[in-house]
Amino acid sequence: MARQKHDERLHDRKFVRTFFTSPTAVEGEEDSATMIRSAAGLSGMQAPDVWVPDNEDATAPSMRDEGARNIIEVVSEEGADFPGEIHPRIVWFRGDPGTRHQCLTHLMEIADPDNGAIQHIDGFVIPEVGDIDDWKKADEVLTIVENEYDLEEGEIAMSVIVESGAAELAMGELRDEMGKPTNNLERLFMLVIGEVDYTKDMRAITPTGNLPSWPEVRHNTSRAASAAGLISVDGPYDDIRDVEGYRERMVDNQAKGLLGIWSLTPGQVVEANTNPLPPETSRWRMDTGGRTVDLEDDDGVQVYDGNRVSLEESDDEYTLRVGGDEQVLDEEDLREELLGIVEYVPSMDDIVDSMEEFEEAREGGTGAIAMERATTVRIDGVEVEVSNDRMWDEATYQAAMTPVSLFQDVYEHRPDQHDELAEMYSEDVVERAMDVGGA
């Protein structure tokens, strides 16, 4: 493996939106591999970026030997056609040599090239790691397996589930440890949060028994991934019917740079594949006192049509009510006030427009330009013009590039999603988005 600076990405994929687990063996089914067999057939927006045949928590301990054999059977048959990467999760436990031995046994079986599966497997997911020495043990097991089968050292990627305080602290040591000649930790690919087991490990209690949302672990994982050139992925959102909650979690994660998330169901896969991509259409929205609502576009005028905000005009004065708060304002103060509660969500088309505008200015020798956003807002029939200027410099441009880079990574690696993306954005926008940023 090429030695690079650790904060440069070392793997093919720069982004992983979806990490989808499926049980490897289900007792009582005619075909115990039924779940992974159907997952292997997914494509388009329904197929995850990373598929994880899960021979750990999703599979009963008594079924895991059979699960390892099922992985071999299904991946050897279907792996070549699967559009995402394949990273099975195998057993491991920081405090238990017996489980680590089972890891070695399963790996020797799954990675044996004669069984035909390893050719389609990109890496393995190691759960329940502890401190950095434990990560190195797992890495060493993979090195032994590579050695046994004449694979290149470091060729099999390793991702870990961060689900203990020890593992969370170990992430801070990666920059020092990766690249030492005594380990192959540069095989690391994803840092995946396991909030369920983390909650247990931290001995956390909530009145409802629901999981805490652990914003600190999510921040720490994103930071560690950035520092070590890895990809961070949030853990399972177990309230699987709560689609709105899953979306809110993703928006919160994305603001931390945690762009991937676990998906437990095919429905969650579609949500999580789509959510981090910029929207197809732009919109204005308004904070109506704790709740943000989209404004309705009426021929370029943005209309608020609810009852949490009201506006009256009389004798050059305006009475604005937001929630329980009432203010009497002149026109200029009203504009200011509205600017504080109205915001613009750009579409992919808009983002690309702004980037092209900046690139043009930069080529012409200008390093910073003001980008104006203006519209007319209508509340209770009263129309007010609002506009703001945002200063764009090189740093703004680079930060705005992240969603576009994500799109470019998806487009490059997921040809099976091209039709859906073209339908979403139009061919023209797709083409321009692929072009921007010198890609």
Provide Rg for the chain, Cα atoms.
Answer: 25
At its nearest, how many Å lie between ligand GLV and the CB of residue 163? 5
At its nearest, how many Å lie between ligand GLV and the CB of residue 233? 11
Residue 85 or 163: which CB sits closer to ligand GLV? 163
**What are the Cα distances from residue 85, in Å, to 22, 26, 43, 75, 235?**
14, 23, 12, 11, 18
Residue 54 binds to ligand GLV (criterion: CB under 6 A):
no
Neighbours of 391 (CB within 10 A): 9
Instruction: Pick the catalytic residue from 393, 409, 416, 419.
Output: 393
At its nearest, how many Å lie between ligand GLV and the CB of residue 211? 8
Written as one letter, the residue type at 410 is V
At its nearest, how many Å lie between ligand GLV and the CB of residue 48? 16
Residue 108 or 196: which CB sits closer to ligand GLV? 196
Q: Please list the residues that pair with 208 across neighbouring strands.
A: none
Part in contact with ligand GLV (CB under 6 A); list of ranges 42-50, 192-200, 332-340, 427-435: 192-200
String marking each residue 55-74 x if it binds ligand GLV according to CB under 6 A: --x-----------------
Report which DSSP code applies to 89: B
Neighbours of 224 (CB within 10 A): 20
Exactly one of 49, 122, 146, 195 binds ligand GLV (CB under 6 A); that residue is: 195
At its nearest, how many Å lie between ligand GLV and the CB of residue 172? 20
**What are the Cα distances from residue 357, in Å, to 281, 346, 352, 434?**
19, 15, 8, 16
Instruction: Name which of 216, 210, 221 is nearest 259 in CA terms.
Output: 221
Residue 112 bears catalytic tag: no
CB 286 within 8 A of CB 309: yes
Residue 58 or 334: which CB sits closer to ligand GLV? 58
- Residues that contact ligand GLV, how many (by CB under 6 A): 10
Show contacts with ligand GLV in window 220-249 (CB under 6 A). Answer: 235-236
**What are the Cα distances from residue 381, in Å, to 54, 171, 216, 296, 303?**
56, 55, 45, 13, 9
Residue 163 binds to ligand GLV (criterion: CB under 6 A):
yes
Please give the structure tokens belonging to residue 388.
């703001």
Residue 53 binds to ligand GLV (criterion: CB under 6 A):
no
Residue 194 binds to ligand GLV (criterion: CB under 6 A):
yes
Residue 126 binds to ligand GLV (criterion: CB under 6 A):
no
At its nearest, how many Å lie between ligand GLV and the CB of residue 103? 15
CA-CA-CA-CA torsion sign (353, 355, 361, 364): negative
Question: Which positions are annotated as active-site residues?
Answer: 393
- Footprint of ligand GLV on this chain (CB under 6 A)? 57, 127, 161, 163, 194-197, 235-236
